[in-house]
Structure 1
Amino acid sequence: MNHCRIPSHCRLMLAICLLLPLAGCPDDPPAPGPGKGTPGVTVVEPLRLTPKLIAENNRGVGLLEQYRYDQAGKVFAALVKQQPRWLDAKVNLAIAVLNETQKGSVAVPILEEVVIADPEHAAATYCLGISLFHANRIPAAMIQFRKAVKQDPRDSFAAYFMARCLEQEQPAEATTWYQKALGLEPYFQSAHYRCWDLLRQVKKFDEAGRHMEEFSLLREHPLSVSFEYKYTLMGPKALAIRVGLPGVAGSTKRPDGPVFHPPATIAAADSLRLPAAAGLTTCDINADGRQDLFITTPVGSHLLLAGAKGKAVESFVLAPEHPLVKVTGVIAPLWGDFDNDGLVDVYFCRRGTNQLWKQVKPGQWQDVTGASKAGGADLETIDGVCLDLDHDADLDLLLIQRGGPAQLLNNNRDGTFEDISKKVGVDRSGAETAAVTVADFDGDRDLDLLLLDVAGKGPRKNILLWNDRSWRYHADGKLGDLATASLTVALAADTNADAQVELYTAGGSQLARWQRALDGSWSRQGLELEGTRGAIGEGTPRMALADVSGDGRLELLVGTSGWSAWRVPDDLQDTRLVEVADSGEHEPLSAWTPVALDHARGPAIVGMLTDGAPLTWAAGSGRFEFFSVALSGKKKGRYRERSNASGLGNQILTRVGGRTIRASSLPTDSGPGQSLQPVAVGLGGAGKADYVKVVWSEGVTQGRLDLAVGSLYRIEEEDLMPTSCPVLFAWDGTRYRFVSDLLAVGGLGYLIAPGQYAPPDPTENMLLPAGLAQPHNGRYRLKLTEPMPELTYVDRVGLVAWDLPPGWHMTLDERLATALPDPSGEPIFFRDEQPPRRVTNDRNADMTQRVASVDHRAAEVGALDRRFLGRLAGEHSLVLEFDEPLDAGPGQPVLVADGWVEFPYSQTAFSAWQAGASFDSPTLEARDRKGRWVTVAPSFGYPGGMPRQITLPLKNLPRGTRALRLRTNLEIYWDRLTIVRSESCPGAVRRELDLVEADLRESGFMVRQLKDQFRPHFDYDQRAAHPEIVDPEGFYTRLGAVNELVETVDDAVAIFGPGEEIHVEFAAPGKVVPEGWTRRLVLETVGWCKDMDLYTGDGQTVGPLPGTGRPARARDRLHRRFNTRYQRGW
């Protein structure tokens, strides 16, 4: 039986083709007469939509919102088959098709049917317009957009596309339409850029400059708008249409009942009498899945362990013999996994030397303060945070000390900590710090530090330190009144889910909100509490941010002797807070904090009465349901520890019914102390979340679908490849086959130490596997793709055919060189091969068969360093023994190696640099006649990425060499190792093939598969959903033909990013290869790539553009013409 494999998007297209005849198309013949009845009048049954059909449509919409385009398309296709006259379902089908196939031409016939049936269907008109535009049918698209702007004169996207259609022929009118779009949507960043470009061309530089200024200001604005052919970014009329039954409306009214139950004592702790200076934190200390409570007092600590499963969530048992309660002088515990072993540890802020207690085995605790050098200064440490402040996958410590400066202890990842406070400026030149707030205030994915000055000690000077990474900070010079404000506590959060963090502060009895404007300045808004009930009052306030109503928005909890919860309006201009709940009548509380006791009902409050016992305010019936998420960067898969194991500092974005809910695993309690608990997410009455996206602290995103309320979900960071060099596919006669990746040698901004970046080499030639690429209609077809979050800059791509006489073979002088000499990229011809007789590794295991052929069964590398990606726990060596001396044969000996490498990323390099751990490139040694090992090529290089072949000419071998040794601690998988004898081949024929086509396209994200020994493989026929992948900000090459950019080396580069490709076709030689001869193909490339690692130089922007120093005039002319597609960035 023959099996034909059809890509998912092709299966969807096939289903659509089968459906189209059901409803006809514009060129169909007239329908037959209606038979009996009025001549020329067709009796049409009214469209009847059942609850089942509507539910299925809305399920399809949900799949679109989860970016599962293929599945959504199948749902809508089935609905159209059942109800061919259901126009909204057809529009939804077209939207799914456009997003799945990225081919506007496929969606066009579906939408044409709708506008013929209903010319006033506004969504169909607009979607037909953008589909025609995508298919480069500009005149036809303009017809639709002329209708669209009449149907909805307020649609800024329709006006924008009206201008796009007019740009080439009528630029002045196009400018007018862009300005209309801006009148409708002032934050339309794409329209500002197009205006700038058109006005610049007619030399209206002042007006153009104003648009560029607005364009630049909108780069960081959370409400800025830009158009992309991606779902949710194509305009409101390109969103799928939800349908409801007539007369049935959804309710968002909160359930009846209280948000919190009245306070109840904890039976096991009823006898405790806690002083006013008591503190409270929560953590699952014994790993039973339930939150425990740790109480600190000046005279000792108490541990309340959650009751056994099946008991009430508010039940606890006192654990007086636990080793942690015996630690004296504790003021504030900081809970986290400091060594990333999967077991929670604790850092005790104390009166005197602090202590770090490690859980060496489950339930077994050990004081490791001395060995870890984590004791800190000999002061009273009143608070602190443990977070991955430098984004190197471990928890660092930032400590607040009474009478002294803040102290920053860097986790060295070798079990020790180092005080770097003065080095990075956290000590503020010795000034005392009262409190710290950690957040990503500027939205650039790293954590910034707000340090509050001490009240009553001279002029106040709060400072905000912007994180420049690599342990570099600079102070914000635009704090204004925030710099001198008298503040006791401050918390940061995005309460209205607009992707911009606000700062909430308490000073005295006054609450305020601070916002950062586009120009970087800060403004204060005094917050008004509804009535007088729940006002702060006198004393030191405590503050927390938590969703306690289940509506998906954070409430502000604040109080001194008690607490009250206040709803924060989504409109940040509204300063009136509405009370949701309060703690009621009771004696003063010494401390309180939200605790995730019930994952279905959301946070409870646990508080401690002064001179009394702990109380719980359990979740009441007057709230929507929740689910909880416990995050961990401790991976079970391949990519070890690129985020901290405690899951701290990550963002959680939840999509439900077209709405986005934002949450964070940063601390949202003013302390003292830092709890560790799951993040509660309320869904506002929905039964499940359509989609949950985690943005890990390293910047990688990960999704989960269909998370239902009522449960705790433990999400470990998946084995996702965070970035990759561009990936090459070749047409093999039946399909596009994966070859390898390219241009790793041209990596831009790769960090090797703080402030030091590896120099890129933009030239790489690749010998394609023999016989892989086959011509199609007289052309070789190749694809250079970006299936991962990365940028590629292609200057030239060429294809060379080498015809070799009988008996001759070739390889290339190529490798990722880490020492001189650099490879030339030139061919190496040979007739003779001298494979090793025996190969053994550093563990004396025989690896001869493992390295005898390219079979993807590489030599075993030994133990991996679990701390650092791409590094081994020890040195891996291979000894190659030969029957005959290597210097005795014909020609020059050349080492040929096939294999692949696991690259350390910039973040990994920084982390290893801190720990003093080196990445040692392979060194080649030869054994001389006396048995001594002589270095032949120190740190010469390695295979630069996925499976490929490299070579090393051997020019300085000791006489009579019969053994070679490779040594490295890099994670390199040697698949084949052999020696060939390089000779000149006068009969070899070189033909440079003509570049016939070079086209930049949107291709989607090919599925990455991880084979044995972590060998990466990509399948071009399968696509992975990568929702909300964000592109580095800047100008990319517009889609379409890019021949002029990639046919010559001139520094004019084609720029493309995630989910895109350059498709190239070369004319195959007309001359047939003579019998006995061999044809080999060499892909020649000049270009660069850049990943989005947090520590990669300029990793968040397209610029600065790379180059080789050639004259800029021709390059700039081509860039102005081609590189006009702006992508928003992070």
Structure 2
Amino acid sequence: MRNSFSQQEPNGSGFVGSLVRMSISRRARDDASMPDRSSVQRLAAFTAIFLALLLSTLTAACRRAEKLPDQSSQEYRDAVRAFYVGLAALQAGVEVRAGEEMTRVTQLAPGEPSAWANLGLLAIKQRELDAAAERLEKARDLAPENSRIILMQATLESSRGNLAEATSLLRRAVELDPGNLIAIYSLAQEVEREGGDANEAEAQRLMGKILEVQPDNLVALLEVTRLAAKRGDSAALQNALSQVAALAAAWPPEAKDQFTALQTAAAGTDTRAAGARVAFLRNVLVRIPKYRADLAAVKLPTGELGEPFTGFLKMASPSPLPAPPDDGLAFTEEPLGNWQWAGGVSLDGERAPTIITASGREVRAGGAMLSFPGGPTATPPTTDGVLALDFNYDFKTDLALAGAGGFKLYRQEGGGSFTDATSKLPAAVTGGAYRGAWAADIEMDGDLDIALAVINGPPLVLRNNGDGTFIELRPFEGVTGLYGFVWGDLDGDGDPDAALLSADGKLKVFANERGGAFRARSLPDDFPALAAIASTDINGDSILDLVAVQTDNTIIRVSDDGEGSGWVTATLVGNQVLSAPVSEARGRLIIADLDNNGANDLIWATPLATTVLLGDGQGKFIPRDAIPARAITAADLNNDGRLDLIGVAKSEQAVRLVNRGTKDYHWQTVRPRAATSTGDQRINTFGIGGEMEIRSGLLFQKQPITGPVVHFGLGEKTEADVLRINWPNGVVQAEFDLQSDQTVVTDQRLKGSCPSLFAFDGREMRFVKDCAPWSPAIGLRINAAQTAAISQTEEWQKIRGDQLVPRDGYYDLRITAELWETFYIDHYALMVVDHPEGTDIFVDERTSNPGPRLALYTVAAPRPVKAAWDDNRQDVTEIVRALDGRYLDTFGRGQYQGVTRDHYVEIELGDNAPTSGPLYLLAHGWMHPTDASINIALSQGSHPPPESVSIEVPDADGKWVVARPALGFPAGKNKTMVFDLEGIFRPGAPRRLRLRTSMEIYWDALEWAAGRADAEVKTARLNPQTAELRYRGFSVFNQADKSSPEIPDYDRLATTSQRWRDLIGYYTRYGDIRELLEKVDDRIVIVNAGDEMALRFPGQPPPPAGFVRDYVLIGDGWIKDGDFNSVFSKTVLPLPTHDRTEYTSLPARLEDDPAYRRHPRDWQEYHTRYVTPDRFQKTLTLRKQAWE
């Protein structure tokens, strides 16, 4: 009995366990006879004692289970750190790390419900529903009256199909917190779904409760309108319409048209027609930021299953505020000699900055002395006259000098020396008169250009050609006498914009329209004159603001209002604070955290003095005593974590102002880096134009990347929980476990390619290859002047018989969107191909112009080539002998991703290859593609254009000649190019050939095969039996080595969060999409990143005896990626149709698009999911909910 009990109850040891066993033993003995009265009394007394001890022990165990660490303990600090690292990981989509950290919180503080709830939410996202239920139940046990936890449980039960339980939980959530608007909205939806007038009346009443909290919530108003129309409640309908009408004045015309139609329907005899019109109006209003904000207040975004807890429910949460400013901050002045300019420059991005000094004649940079173009009067450089940048992509800082006497460019060599590189510049540029220079990647092609302030003239941009040469551009019209320049994403759309300040104090902001084009934005007519501008996220909303000093000394914030639609200004510092007047020489505004308290400080430097205003993070800036010197740069000169100031005193004495802060606050330095100087070059070396965000606990900060080093103050926080980098090409990267001085290298991964095809192979869903659409890319720039035309939208991809096995009577294919792309899918079909044993079939899976022949190639069993050599005469036969995942990679890497040196592989077919009849070369491999931005860069300067595959053969004299030019390249991963060799060899010449290219093409196997056009081939073309669009998330990608492609793993998700800055517009709603895929008719499925199409094709009888089976996926559609240089890469529009080969204009609105006009009903029934990057932009900000 003892052994049996201990096996069932591991905790049966110890005193309680002994009591239990004694009780069981006594009961066993007493079973032998009837107890007497005294025995019964003794047993009762014993039982009472036992139960009391048991209750006491269980209570102690529960207390241990609900343990919370003392706030002064290391356990508490560790739990806080783990919670906020886990929260950041959850929000940034690093879900494995999120799970690890939140689990650690539950171990350190098992009584804290928020960690259990976040673990439950994570399990829901990862589709581990049983685990989610357990974790949420644990959270609810610890906080039984928390409405948000119960809402999470309701979401879980709804996803499980337990609608009655979900409704019951929602009722409880609303009962506990009538301000939980998401719970109210969800309950209204569930109640209405049950049907019946009573339920519909309750749903209408619930929507009214939302309006009690947010009277102008447009989403709730429209729901009341719809429900009232559905129920025939005319009074409520007219009342709701009058409230909606009061909000409609600022709507665009298409929304007003829909509202008018709604009003007309509501005035009719059958109000139910008005209910349908609400849906049409709603689909238009979703474009408006106000509507989307109201929607976010009451409904979780599509694909999101809950909002994580951002603070503790039982433990004390850390303060979200920065530490108090250092009121003892002071600077010690150290002279640097008689110079008229001084600044700190990181010459290699790694070591402490070097102090550079300058006069009107020379510049001293370390041990180098350079000539400054000060002109005949030796005019000294202005504060912006010495520019540090890496223009030649060698990770060494070069110097551009802009002065009254011209412009000079110096290239840094090894050992800190410099070479004059000015000779490659146009003489008209080098001889001009300039006030200053700034670095910016104007066309976002991965290298830095130079903006020059022409004195008394319009600004000039020197576009970097990537080969040491530059050309002149003038993209900023309407500005004369440039005085200040800011380069950063001011409207939150992902690409950096330009703000220019002219000599007369006028501000001009240019929105980046991508592709090197800019659009001037309007400012109010009464906008004040300015003396200086700078940029940072001064108000913590994750979008960069302009900070400007007015000519009356007022410092203001200028922020985008509504996605580029207008501006909001606010005063930061009144004009009475800055005592030094703005002189004719103007001043310089620097933004940095000098005291490391975690808030931006403002440094206003004039020729007379520098005033430091310490930020407290709550909108106040506290002035320190003026410093009698003009600060020019801020940099940590001695690696002590404090930013020093470098500048010039009134006596034209260069000075270093050493930071002598009194608070021992912490800090974080980050050194952004491109991955490598070869084989990539998608961003400039130090990421200038990008952004960095950090969060430590609840403290969020964001800064633009303006140089090789980015500095954050952390205050009393010992370390940053997460760093999130928005690289200049749009790729986002999150980093954890940062050192105080951290170099961060960009992830070198693909951001665009095509859909991923998975098939059930009898055991699991396994990646097959990239699939259609691959080649029909909308807006793909070939160079600065040309965009690729679309000649063929249908593509075929082979699926081997061993890669697709029927299950439960159907063929199961999944097509996923993993990268920064939008797909427009018109048709998918599966061709079943039965062919005789001993033969094989292939399709030509290349991208070329014209497109490949869409046909089956039936061949005899393929044979490996006899021998192969690369262009260095290395024998590579074994590498290309078989499809084994070993790739030919002896050509190195070029300057840019996707392009390398001219190279070839030479092939000898062998004596057994037939000399007559059809003969094919089967080239299996993959290609690392360029993108639109790389194509732009390649088209500049002296770069040779990429050369696709061509075939060369020797002539009778042994000279190699081109036999087949411009054959294209593999259309992605795991592809086969079919080359027809019939008639290619010259009489009397060896039967050898070369595959030549300058692209990054990695051959896995090279085979030849004799054509078998005589073979009987049986085919059946199948349409999907079912087709479903659904949200899935993003696969983990694995790469065997640098020569191998990145392969997605279907069974492992990297994240279910938004990974990319999605293209804005209408996508197909989730659910059945079979009707849209049935035929080629321009009725498309619009697919976003993270989506999956699950296709089931009807299974077929086994192949006849003597035949084997393979498959071909036939796809028809288009693709558009988010690359900043792809045309119209910000939006889903323009929509594709088969009668268009080029897309040169963007319709002003959806209703003007030709594709919409052909099938408008599809945007009422299918394309109703509107996607924006709003949440992506604000990933690390802590969203405040209506109930908080």
Q: Name the TM-score class by shorter chain.
A: 0.7 to 0.9
Equivalent residue for 2:967, pick from 932, 936, 940: 940
Displacement after TM superposition at 1:1056 (Å): 3.1
Displacement after TM superposition at 1:978 (Å): 3.0
1:651 matches 2:695:
no
Answer yes or no: is the 8 Å Cα contact 1:812–1:828 preserved in 2. yes
1:495 matches 2:538:
yes
Corresponding position of 1:814:
845
Change (3 A) 1:536 1:497: farther
1:323 is paired with a residue of what secondary structure? strand
Answer yes or no: is the 8 Å Cα contact 1:600–1:625 preserved in 2. no
Matches within 5 A, 1:1028-1043: 1029=1059, 1030-1043=1061-1074
Matches within 5 A, 1:1030-1069: 1030-1069=1061-1100
Corresponding position of 1:312:
none
Corresponding position of 2:993:
964
Answer yes or no: is the 8 Å Cα contact 2:113–2:314 preserved in 1. no
1:998 is paired with a residue of what secondary structure? strand
* Letter aligned with residue 242 of structure 1: F
Corresponding position of 1:291:
353
* CA distance in structure 2 between the partners assigned to 1:378 and 1:951 by the alignment: 57
* CA distance in structure 1 between the partners assigned to 2:580 and 2:161 by the alignment: 62
* CA distance in structure 1 between the partners assigned to 2:778 and 2:299 by the alignment: 26
Corresponding position of 2:612:
565
Point out the more displaced range, 611-620 or 1026-1035. 1026-1035
* Letter aligned with residue 711 of structure 2: A
Change (3 A) 1:378 1:741: same
* CA distance in structure 2 between the partners assigned to 1:885 and 1:80 by the alignment: 69
Corresponding position of 1:442:
491
Corresponding position of 1:22:
none
Matches within 5 A, 1:19-58: 36=48, 45=59, 47=63, 48-51=66-69, 58=80
Corresponding position of 1:156:
181
Equivalent residue for 1:134, pick from 156, 159, 164: 159
Matches within 5 A, 1:860-875: 860-866=889-895, 868-873=896-901, 875=902
Displacement after TM superposition at 1:83 (Å): 9.1
Change (3 A) 1:1059 1:659: farther
User: Deviation per CA, 1:202-253, whole angstroms, max 9, x where unpaired?
Assistant: 44799778867764341899999478978996665x426525547x976967
Equivalent residue for 2:923, pick from 894, 897, 901: 897
Corresponding position of 2:589:
543
* Letter aligned with residue 1084 of structure 2: V
Equivalent residue for 2:444, pick from 379, 391, 398: 391
Matches within 5 A, 1:725-740: 725-740=754-769
Corresponding position of 1:314:
none
Corresponding position of 1:12:
none
Displacement after TM superposition at 1:979 (Å): 3.1
Equivalent residue for 1:762, pick from 793, 797, 813: 793
Larger Rg: 1 or 2? 2
Change (3 A) 1:438 1:180: farther
* CA distance in structure 1 between the partners assigned to 2:905 and 2:215 by the alignment: 64
* Letter aligned with residue 142 of structure 1: T
Unmatched tracts of structure 1, length 5 or more: 1-17, 20-31, 304-318, 667-675
1:160 is paired with a residue of what secondary structure? helix
So what's the TM-score if we normalise by structure 1?
0.83
* Letter aligned with residue 565 of structure 1: V
2:636 is paired with a residue of what secondary structure? strand
Corresponding position of 1:661:
701
Point out the more displaced range, 123-132 or 408-417. 123-132
Answer yes or no: is the 8 Å Cα contact 2:486–2:535 preserved in 1. yes
1:453 matches 2:502:
yes
* CA distance in structure 2 between the partners assigned to 1:610 and 1:118 by the alignment: 64
Equivalent residue for 1:679, pick from 710, 732, 755: 710
Corresponding position of 1:382:
435
* CA distance in structure 2 between the partners assigned to 1:677 and 1:261 by the alignment: 26
1:344 matches 2:397:
yes
2:826 is paired with a residue of what secondary structure? strand
1:773 matches 2:798:
no
Corresponding position of 1:3:
none
Change (3 A) 1:699 1:844: same
Matches within 5 A, 1:768-847: 768-817=799-848, 819-820=849-850, 822-831=851-860, 833=862, 836-847=865-876
Matches within 5 A, 1:348-497: 348-373=401-426, 376-421=429-474, 424-426=475-477, 431-455=480-504, 462-482=507-527, 485-497=528-540
1:385 is paired with a residue of what secondary structure? strand
* Letter aligned with residue 749 of structure 2: L
* CA distance in structure 2 between the partners assigned to 1:441 and 1:186 by the alignment: 31
* CA distance in structure 2 between the partners assigned to 1:1021 and 1:138 by the alignment: 28
Corresponding position of 2:676:
635
Change (3 A) 1:994 1:1051: closer
User: Deviation per CA, 1:484-536, whole angstroms, max 9, x where unpaired?
Assistant: x4322222322112133332222433323333433733455455438646565
* Letter aligned with residue 738 of structure 2: L
* Letter aligned with residue 594 of structure 2: V
Corresponding position of 1:506:
549
Answer yes or no: is the 8 Å Cα contact 2:845–2:977 preserved in 1. yes
Change (3 A) 1:1025 1:714: farther
* CA distance in structure 2 between the partners assigned to 1:298 and 1:706 by the alignment: 46
Corresponding position of 1:1127:
1171
Answer yes or no: is the 8 Å Cα contact 1:902–1:945 preserved in 2. yes
* CA distance in structure 2 between the partners assigned to 1:186 and 1:535 by the alignment: 48
Corresponding position of 2:940:
914
1:733 is paired with a residue of what secondary structure? coil
Unmatched tracts of structure 2, length 5 or more: 1-9, 12-23, 25-43, 228-258, 263-271, 1140-1153, 1175-1188
* CA distance in structure 2 between the partners assigned to 1:1047 and 1:244 by the alignment: 55
Displacement after TM superposition at 1:690 (Å): 1.4
* CA distance in structure 2 between the partners assigned to 1:682 and 1:1048 by the alignment: 59
Equivalent residue for 1:95, pick from 112, 115, 121: 121
Corresponding position of 1:260:
329
Answer yes or no: is the 8 Å Cα contact 1:899–1:972 preserved in 2. yes
So what's the TM-score if we normalise by structure 2?
0.79
Corresponding position of 1:1080:
1110
Answer yes or no: is the 8 Å Cα contact 1:407–1:426 preserved in 2. no
* CA distance in structure 2 between the partners assigned to 1:405 and 1:1114 by the alignment: 46
Change (3 A) 1:775 1:605: same
Displacement after TM superposition at 1:644 (Å): 0.6
* Letter aligned with residue 999 of structure 1: E
* CA distance in structure 2 between the partners assigned to 1:172 and 1:1127 by the alignment: 31
* CA distance in structure 2 between the partners assigned to 1:363 and 1:551 by the alignment: 35
Corresponding position of 1:981:
1010
Answer yes or no: is the 8 Å Cα contact 1:61–1:242 preserved in 2. no
* CA distance in structure 1 between the partners assigned to 2:295 and 2:715 by the alignment: 26
Corresponding position of 2:1124:
1094
Displacement after TM superposition at 1:983 (Å): 2.9
Equivalent residue for 1:121, pick from 146, 150, 162: 146
Answer yes or no: is the 8 Å Cα contact 1:651–1:696 preserved in 2. yes
Answer yes or no: is the 8 Å Cα contact 2:329–2:659 preserved in 1. yes
* Letter aligned with residue 69 of structure 1: E
Point out the more displaced range, 35-44 or 336-345. 35-44
Change (3 A) 1:677 1:1018: closer
Matches within 5 A, 1:601-616: 601-611=641-651, 612-616=653-657
Change (3 A) 1:532 1:717: closer
Change (3 A) 1:324 1:221: farther
Q: Tell me how large the CA RMSD over aligned residues is.
A: 4.0
* CA distance in structure 1 between the partners assigned to 2:298 and 2:960 by the alignment: 62
* CA distance in structure 2 between the partners assigned to 1:1105 and 1:172 by the alignment: 40
Displacement after TM superposition at 1:1088 (Å): 2.8
* Letter aligned with residue 590 of structure 2: A
2:179 is paired with a residue of what secondary structure? coil
Displacement after TM superposition at 1:293 (Å): 1.6
Answer yes or no: is the 8 Å Cα contact 2:605–2:632 preserved in 1. no
